[in-house]
Structures are given as C-alpha cells and as structure tokens.
Structure 1
C-alpha cells in the first residue's frame, strides 16, 4: 500500500492528522505512523479510512487507480 494516498486524501479535505485520528478513535501518533508506513493497519482501520474518504479499499491498496468505491448506477458491471 502506498501511504501517500492516505496522506493525499486527508490533505485534499484539509483535515489534520489529529482530526482524522479522532474520527478513527486512535491517537494522533498512531495515525501518523499509518501515514508514514511505520505501523500497519488492521483491516477494520483500512475500511474506516476508505469510508471516511469515500474511496474503495482497493484504491488504498493500489489494486486500482479508480477511487470510486462503487460503480455508478448507469454503468454496466
């Protein structure tokens, strides 16, 4: 996983590390360690971050470059 994506998503929303940490119910140091790739995230935390930023977990894991979590209704699967 490229941790830059997590940082960029946070910065795009003009959120501080503390604000995101509070939303995830972790302390700021823990969240900063996630962004820096020092600590690995639990699957639950990864899902929370994806939901917070309205992106897919696949996008966070760099399995896709499409950040959209779900196809639009008018798109075929």
Structure 2
C-alpha cells in the first residue's frame, strides 16, 4: 500500500520527512566538498585526516539522499528508475 493512499496528514508528514532527508544529504555533501577543499573551519577542520571527513560526510550524503528519495517515492507513488 502506498503512503498516498492513506490519510493526507500521513502522506504530508512523510513527504516533509523525505525532503528533510534530502536537505540533510545536501548539507553533508557540501560539508564533504568544503572539508576536502580545506575550507571548512571549526571542529571539522581539526579532524584528521581530511579523507576520513570526506568519506564520512559522503556516506551521510549518500544515505540521506537514498532515504529521502525512497520516502518521496513511497509518498507520491512515483517510480524512480
């Protein structure tokens, strides 16, 4: 059963959750890019080595994008190939 077939409030909350995960994925990807470029300041800059930061934030970005797209797909009933 698709989420969109359920109550409107449930579908709306699921869609907002999916969009939230996509925003988290974008932020993690941006943090990975800034960290790899050496432009990140604060606690991220102090973590070593820099490749560990890129790998860590990259995995967060991939996971967040996957979860976000899955939730949006289940909410809208769209087929994502």
**Normalized against structure 1, the TM-score is what?**
0.28
**Normalized against structure 2, the TM-score is what?**
0.27
- Structure with greater proportional helix content: 2
Larger relative contact order (CA 8 Å, sep ≥ 6): 2
